[in-house]
Structure 1
Amino acid sequence: MKWLQKSLIIAVALLTFGVITPAHDIWSNFQEKSDSKHEEGSSNESDYQIGLADPHIEVVESIEDTFIDSAKTLAYEKFGTKIGPVISDEFDQVIFPKIDEAIRMTLNNDTENEYRRLSISERPGGNYSEKIFNVYDKDSQKDLIRFHVRTDKRPQDGYFFNFHYHVVEDGFNTHHTIGDIYWSKDTPPKWLS
């Protein structure tokens, strides 16, 4: 029962962006009502639990959606105003769905309790750095997955942006390719510009 209350509190906090806090009167009223329902008997209790099972699922989906939204925001922050408008269509249609899939796969491979400890890095790398963002464990401060974009110059073809990610399972050694986006034969601007 306690985990249901905590899940509901998390859901409200996420959905209201912290406007309604756990100290608000609504939580006191909720606590009184849940205590009185608990005392009434088991027939009402089972209906009550079934009704609250759905918000818990929504909390998990909300956490995933928050990660996805943050990932897209950080990618566009990295692209800056010079690269972003040029590659945005192809990025949104081809590259980002694969990033979304990799993030959801990483989040779904963790247990429920670890969701609260996972976070996404706040700043992409600039200049010529490959880093877009990392998903990491807040407690240990260790990365689980790192998303990168590398600028490749191919003779006679020009410049391409190679999107890929690395995972902790292989020590971040393997490039898991997401895809490439063509820039042009001209040197692209630095990231964040």
Structure 2
Amino acid sequence: MNKWWQKSLMIAVAVLTLGAIPPSHMLWESLLDDKAHNDSQPAQEKDKQVLYDWIDPGEFYFADPSILHTVHKSAEEQAYLKFGSRIGPIIGEEFQRAILPNMQQAIDMHLAKMGSAELRKLAISEKPSGDHAEKIFHIYDMETNKDAIRFHVRTEKKPQQGYFFNFHYHVADDNFQQHITLGDIYWSKNTPPKWLS
């Protein structure tokens, strides 16, 4: 927003409220900071960042918790298969600590919306994409072969910083349009090897 619009808006509110809301109020500061922050972000960094710390795993009820355990275990196996022997040993510890818990909570959150009959029809794809493709695994319905959730990792090069692995997922609810970030892992300034290598 232009500076003169900001000043005009503050003056108009101060006059209309007879000074009850002064221009130095915290509301104005947070409004202006949020607007400035949003304007300065590039379009691709406006992707939704989800923080799962507030989710209590105990609040989800699953009639058969073994299904959930199987999905979690398969998700971890597919991720390490995707990393291969060159990337896995280097990022494995950080993946276990920062990304895998978010991945498991995202699975819990989305599968909690399904009934037990729907859960029994779910499977995890077993072939992560190699080369430079993003796919880690998809959770899909075995009867219809339609994906419910797609978990991906993208290699990003950030100027002056180097290469990062951006872990994210997409859901069928919005036709896989929204990019929901799980977290980033730094690689180095050198180009990472291809997936599955």
TM-score, normalising length: structure 1: 0.69
Match for residue 105 of structure 2? 101
What's the counterpart of residue 136 of structure 1?
140
How many residues are aligned here?
137
Aligned to 2:96: 92
Q: Contact 2:62 / 2:116 at 8 angstroms: preserved in 1?
A: no
Tell whether 2:181 aligns with 1:177: yes
Is the Cα contact below 8 Å between 2:164 and 2:184 reproduced in 1?
yes
Residue aligned with 1:82, SS: helix
Q: 1:112 aligns with which of 107, 116, 122?
A: 116
The answer to whether structure 1 residue 167 and structure 2 residue 180 are counterparts is no
How far the C-alpha of 1:124 sits from its partner, in A, is 0.5
| Shift of residue 112, structure 1, vs aligned partner | 1.1
Aligned to 1:152: 156
Secondary structure of 2:155 counterpart: strand
Larger helix proportion of the pair: 1
Give the superposed CA RMSD.
Answer: 1.3
Q: Does 1:188 align with 2:163?
A: no
Aligned to 2:22: none
- Whether contact under 8 Å (2:62, 2:112) holds in the other structure is no
Corresponding residue for residue 8 of structure 1: none
Q: Structure 1: how far apart are the matches of 2:74 and 2:62?
A: 18
Q: Structure 1 residues 58, 143: CA separation in 2 closer, same or farther (over 3 Å shift)?
A: closer
Equivalence for 1:14: none
Q: Which amino acid aligns with 1:106?
A: H
Where 1:70 maps in the other structure, the secondary structure is helix
Structure with the bigger RCO (C-alpha within 8 Å, sep 6+) is 2
Q: Which amino acid aligns with 1:166?
A: H
The residue correspondences of 1:23-38 to structure 2 (distance < 5 A) are none
Superposed counterparts of 1:18-57, under 5 Å: none
Shift of 1:116: 1.3
Amino acid at match of 1:144: A
Q: Does 1:72 align with 2:76?
A: yes
Cα distance in 2 for partners of 1:145, 1:88 equals: 23
In the TM superposition, what is the alpha-carbon distance from 1:59 to its structure 2 partner? 6.8
Task: Show structure 1 runs of 5+ residues with no match.
Answer: 1-56
Name the CA distance, whole Å, in 1 between partners of 2:78 and 2:155.
Answer: 17
Q: CA deviation at 1:58?
A: 8.7
1:160-184 deviation per Cα after TM superposition (whole angstroms, max 9, x unaligned): 0000000001110110000000000
In 2: Cα distance, 1:90 partner to 1:59 partner: 32
For residue 156 of structure 2, what is the amino acid of its counterpart? D
Instruction: Return the offset for 1:84.
Output: 0.4
